[in-house]
Structure 1
Amino acid sequence: MNRSLAIKLGAIALLILLLLIPLLMIGGVISDRQQLRDGVLDDIARSSSYSQQLSGPLLVVPYRKTVRIWKLNGKTNERYQESSEETGRLYFLPERFELNGNVSTELRARGIYEARLFHAENRISGHFMLPERLGIKQDFADYQFEQPYLAVGISDIRGIENALQLELGTQRLDFVPGSQVGWLGEGVHVTLPALDASKVTELPFAFDLRLQGTGQLQVTPVGKTSQVKLAANWPHPSFIGNYLPAQREITAEGFNAQWQTSFFSTNLQEALDNCVAFARCEAFKGRSFGVSFIDPVDQYLKSDRAIKYALLFIVLTFAGFFLFEVLKNLAVHSVQYALVGVALAFFYLLLLSLSEHLGFALAYLLSASACVSLIGFYVCHVLRSVTHGLGFSAGLAALYGLLYGLLSAEDYALLMGSLLLFGLLGVFMVLTRRLDWYGVGKTSKTQVAA
């Protein structure tokens, strides 16, 4: 390799490294705008309601137990009995739990940012099967049971949109705020009629719950058998939690999903016992599932993905310039390389700013068109040929089209990128197969002004 060629390649490599500085700055702008957007969305949720998690209902039976202890009188050696009273609660999960929900979404805007709120109309039903003596096998006579109540955990009670009323057989009982169960968090509860603890008791229940939230809706499958059905007008659901839907249907108009669980799959009774006995409630709260109403791939994530290919774009564009130099015996100044590289970097800034207002697809089309037009106009004069300039612009437009394909087909991005690079390498090798690399840079038929 002659000295002139080595200097040229070194200058191009240095330019590429210098262009990483504006690319890193644009990447920082993307991160800052994303954080600003997240802050605005959090502020919208703070003034309405956050993500919602429904836990319950649980049947809670408070009790007082008389504890008798035999002691020995040290003076008379006579035994005597002392009694004390302790309090506690018995917790029961439903035998069957069903939730049928119909969810609609709406957008709330603040400036250029939008948050997606959901309104879920839920019908919750099922029944409890209380064992004889409430499962107490010894000293049942020492127990005195107080008024039982039904507790429902709702992570953000500000989202409750209706007056809750429990249907207990033919009775209608009003819920009141507060779950009355500390580890269950916020929620509501309703006092039930006194139970006859001496026999097996079945308690059917049902109530309607209209719930507003932002972001996610999750349900804890508290029943020995649980069935949850959700339908919504959101066509991009992201199913979250420990259990995927057993059945789902997603269309352009929305989705339908159904979950089915049992105690064998959730082991929720053991999780409840650990929560009550040892205050280890993470397992109980974590056994949930639901759906996220957040766009999984927004314009900021797409812009961040796009800028990851910026270095590849610059290298390929400079490689195209270099081919014209060596094949047409032209001279392209380093400043001209730099101006084209800066124009390529500005594409990502245009893409970010336009996508906040127009959507990613249209912003990409306008940004790519602007950059291809500008670079094409400039290259026509640099290469002193409209034909060469148009050909270069066509190749650049094809690269932008391939980049959009890479961004759209995330699962096949690696395969498509590998094939693209291999194909471009093949083109480069074919075009330069007869080139005398030792003679490159020694003579120049045309000198292009910087």
Structure 2
Amino acid sequence: MTDTDFRPDGNSGDTPSSPQLDPAAQPGAVRTVLSSPGVKFIMIGFISMALLIPTLLVWGLVEERGRRAQEVSARIAKGWGGPQVLNGPYVAVPVEVNRNQTVDGRIVWQTVTEWALLMPETLSVDSKLSTEERRLSIYTLPVYNAKVGITGRFAPGMIDDLRQIEGKPDLDRAMLVMSIADITGIRSDAGMRIDGGPLMPFDPGMKAISSLAPGTVEPYASPVRLDSGVNRPVGRALVESGFSFAVDLSLNGSGSFAIALAGQTTHFSAEANWPHPGFEGLFLPEEKTIGGNGFSAKWTIPYLARGVDRVVSSSVLPLSNSLMAVNMVEPVKFYQVVARTLKYSIGFFSVVFLAVFIIEIKSARKVHWIQYVLTGLALVVFYILLLALAEHTGFEIAYVLASLATAGLISTYVGSVTGSLRRGTILAFVLTTAYAVMYLILREDEYALLAGALISFVTIAATMFSTRNIDWSGVARKSA
């Protein structure tokens, strides 16, 4: 046995030694894997999801600015007048009724005062609204002064209607009541004429009568009651004979103007110099004309369509949610629109990143994942820029400026990274088109889902076609 038969390490001389890994080759292998298109595609997905964090912070900023705008609008309305709702007039008659209750296990009877509310046979409300925008700091609110003429008639059969109500009516204490949502908006000496007689002023408040705040659906579920309104004694003779009435009001308000269907047959007309009305409530207008200088509209609601009897036993005015309303819509409530653009952010990020990815794989120069992050942050800053500009210029101008600035920044950056002016120009076209399509989606709610589905399909189809020959693993490039 020779010295070469065995070695101190235990290996025979005829057996080749185990191959040793070259440490210098490890970083290159890792770089090859990380730079493969498949891994890069997954990293882009993670970056897109990670960008939702700053996007949510921007969403919070939009909500905070929107709340601030509402607070300022409330301050403007407080000094001028809030949304106005007129309900009435009604004839309120106190009724003495015997009621029992259990006290210490005994049934005790006592006489209590309840109320019967009689509705006019006909009611006509004609309103002319002079509107303007009031500004406080950078915020505005549409306000109006309404010249309101209210006419109608209570039928002679009110005594017969009162027989439907349990108890003994006290006709001598009968009064006419009308609810006004924000009584501080009255800008004239409000009064009424009965049967064409002299003007008789109203007294403030509705005494024992109240009304439900608009939006309260069920009186027994946390009702919000309002006692703002006016009243005028009418007495026994007028209740027995019936009477016609006329009321003229000068009323300041903001945001919206509405009336309840207080008449058995109710006619309502409204006109204003505001070109952006929104018609809301239980009934929409039968006739309407909208132009650049304003609008006009008319309603006629018959007794049967109203669905309420002409006399009710209650101390709360009925029909608080049976309204005909005109909303002074602002041309663009940009806080809501900016919030809606954020809902499409993840899809928008994906479209832009896919475009950059396709440009990268067609280019000899690669885009680092940090550069993808910077591109995504530029997309997030778009929303902040849009919000800040919209508060000063309006939504349309702000959207154009923010989208052009963002598209120019990202396309110039990616074109510089890839060393190709042509590819930067292509990306600028993609970004501009994407922003234009998103604007159309925002303006047309009805087609938003359809447009989004088509855009998603076209985007994934274009990505699949452009990457059909890509070596996603990078094995072929490594072998070469």
TM-score between the two structures when normalised by the length of structure 2: 0.80
**Runs of 5+ in structure 1 lacking a partner?**
68-83, 446-450
Shift of 1:368: 0.9
Q: Which amino acid aligns with 1:114?
A: T
- 1:40 and 2:72 aligned: yes
CA distance in 2, matches of 1:380, 1:9: 20
After superposition, the C-alpha distances for 1:331-353 in whole angstroms (9 at most, x for unaligned) are 11111111111111110100000
Q: 1:418 to 1:86 in 2, by over 3 A?
A: closer
1:313 maps to 348
**Runs of 5+ in structure 2 lacking a partner?**
1-31, 99-109, 212-226
After superposition, the C-alpha distances for 1:199-239 in whole angstroms (9 at most, x for unaligned) are 6x231111211111122212111111111111122222222
1:175 maps to 202
Pick the aligned partner of 2:272 from 210, 232, 254. 232
After superposition, the C-alpha distances for 1:84-107 in whole angstroms (9 at most, x for unaligned) are 987555432100000111112111
1:120 maps to 146
- 1:11 and 2:43 aligned: yes
1:448 maps to none
Query: Is the CA contact 2:49–2:346 (under 8 Å) kept in the aligned structure 1?
Result: no
- 1:258 and 2:298 aligned: yes
Shift of 1:262: 2.3
1:70 maps to none
**Aligned with 1:108: secondary structure?**
strand
Q: 1:182 to 1:143 in 2, by over 3 A?
A: closer
- 1:244 and 2:279 aligned: no
Larger radius of gyration: 2
Shift of 1:63: 6.6
* Matched ranges for 1:202-241 at <5 A: 202-241=242-281
Query: Is the CA contact 1:248–1:256 (under 8 Å) kept in the aligned structure 2?
Result: yes
After superposition, the C-alpha distances for 1:135-194 in whole angstroms (9 at most, x for unaligned) are 4659xxx87631543211111111111112312123122222222342242111223365
2:234 maps to 192
CA distance in 2, matches of 1:45, 1:31: 21
Query: Is the CA contact 1:56–1:222 (under 8 Å) kept in the aligned structure 2?
Result: yes
CA distance in 2, matches of 1:132, 1:359: 55
* Matched ranges for 1:289-438 at <5 A: 289-295=324-330, 297-437=332-472
Identity %: 30
Q: Let me know the Cα RMSD of the aligned residues.
A: 2.8
**Aligned with 1:269: secondary structure?**
coil
Query: Is the CA contact 1:64–1:145 (under 8 Å) kept in the aligned structure 2?
Result: no
**Aligned with 2:274: secondary structure?**
coil
CA distance in 1, matches of 2:379, 2:113: 72
Q: Which amino acid aligns with 2:314?
A: C
2:214 maps to none
CA distance in 2, matches of 1:143, 1:434: 91
Query: Is the CA contact 2:150–2:248 (under 8 Å) kept in the aligned structure 1?
Result: yes
- 1:60 and 2:92 aligned: yes
Query: Is the CA contact 1:99–1:228 (under 8 Å) kept in the aligned structure 2?
Result: yes
TM-score between the two structures when normalised by the length of structure 1: 0.85
Query: Is the CA contact 2:94–2:169 (under 8 Å) kept in the aligned structure 1?
Result: no
Q: Which amino acid aligns with 2:383?
A: Y
Shift of 1:242: 1.6
Query: Is the CA contact 2:123–2:267 (under 8 Å) kept in the aligned structure 1?
Result: yes
CA distance in 2, matches of 1:402, 1:429: 21
Q: Which amino acid aligns with 2:403?
A: A
Greater alpha carbon shift after TM alignment, 390-399 vs 163-172: 163-172
Query: Is the CA contact 2:93–2:170 (under 8 Å) kept in the aligned structure 1?
Result: no
CA distance in 1, matches of 2:77, 2:479: 65
